[in-house]
Amino acid sequence: MAFDGRVLSNVGVLAAVAESGSFARAANTLGLTRSGVSRAILRLEERVGVRLFERSTRAVSLTEEGRKLFAEIAPLVAGIEDAVAVVSGAAASVRGRLRVNVDPFFSRLLFAPHAGAFLALYPELSVELAARDQLGDMIADGFDMAVRFGTPPTGSLVATKLLETRSVTVASPAYLARHGTPAHPSELEQHCCIQVRNSLTGNPITEWLFQRRSEQLRIKTKSRLVVDEFGTMLNACLAGSGIVRIKAIGIQQLLDTGALVELVPDWRGESFALHVLRPSRQLPPAKVGAFIDFLRTRCGAHAQTGNAVRETG
């Protein structure tokens, strides 16, 4: 099939509308009129033979066929932009908008305290963080990258491991003053443990794993308080409402100041790896590289203090 430059142009318009969620915003980004954007989308729909957007007076959204097409062309469009940037010398300049799908725990406790420092380094860059429990379709949703805890998904995404942290069992001094301090994981069964729901199943995570050298215990916890996200869980714990299991890397300062007390420190909890995920490209944009480098530096500092494990007995 002969190359048709109009198809390439219309595909670029499709990407702009999908990423901005609006014909008007896409027109402003591309320097076109709104009617020009609408005509480009109509031409592309005629070419592929399916409707690509659902249109209403208030918003536009991709149809199922539109999402499939955008998932295929988004990396290609980005690759063209990256190639042009390299040739023009702009690849070394960190600018534009960076959209990042992030783990809520990472967003609040690991990045938010350093957001100002990152933005100060790159005054021509703006960052849009979307804190989500699940990764979803990163490409179709228009994200440049993602930062997630856990095992990275298989497929076309490139994963870069930033750090690994352990989970710890903690309570506030106020809770321990009222209920006593458990000396062994089995004693947690007699305490009030704040449980968080599994984001995949919606069920409370009731079983906590403990390991000490070759010994392993699974403790069934009891709870009168179940929450959907870690922020509520942490604040409730600080207020003395119960014992929680949480990633060590995000709360080291609270442990250092005594706001929280680590329980049964000889027994370690599960480990969690933090990964950066990005679409598979030969030419990642400079803004992505800058963000990864920043996270390596700041998260590495967290990991030095937040991942120490005391092994005794």
Same fold: 5-88 with 167-270: no
- Tell me, yes or no, if the pTM score tops 0.85: no
pLDDT tens per residue across span 263-303: 999 998 988 899 999 886 656 778 888 999 999 887 766 55
* pLDDT tens-digit map of 151-185: 888 777 888 898 888 899 999 999 999 999 999 99
Q: What is the phi/psi pair of residue 27, to 5°?
A: -60, -40
CATH class, range 167-270: alpha beta
CATH annotation of 5-88: 1.10.10.10
Reported as a pLDDT band with limits 50, 70 and 90, residue 1 is very low
pLDDT above 70: percentage of residues in the chain: 88
Burial class (CB in 10 A: 0-12, 13-18, 19+), 154: exposed
**Across 182-211, average pLDDT:** 91
CATH number listed for the domain at residues 100-164+272-306: 3.40.190.10
Above 90 in pLDDT, residue 191?
yes
Distance CA 291, CA 144 (A): 11
Per-residue model confidence as pLDDT tens digits over 205-227 = 999 999 998 899 999 999 999 99
Phi and psi angles of residue 73, each rounded to the nearest 5 degrees, phi first: -90, -20
- Interval 41-74: pLDDT, tens: 898 888 888 898 888 767 788 888 888 888 888 7
Q: Where are the beta strands (DSSP E) in the chain?
A: 53-55, 60-62, 96-102, 125-131, 145-149, 157-171, 195-196, 207-212, 215-220, 226-227, 244-247, 261-262, 271-279
The alpha carbons of the chain give a radius of gyration, in whole angstroms, of 24
Domain boundaries, the chain: 5-88, 100-164+272-306, 167-270
Supply the pLDDT for residue 141. 80
The pLDDT value recorded for residue 89 is: 56
Q: Are 157 and 298 in contact (CB under 8 A)?
A: no
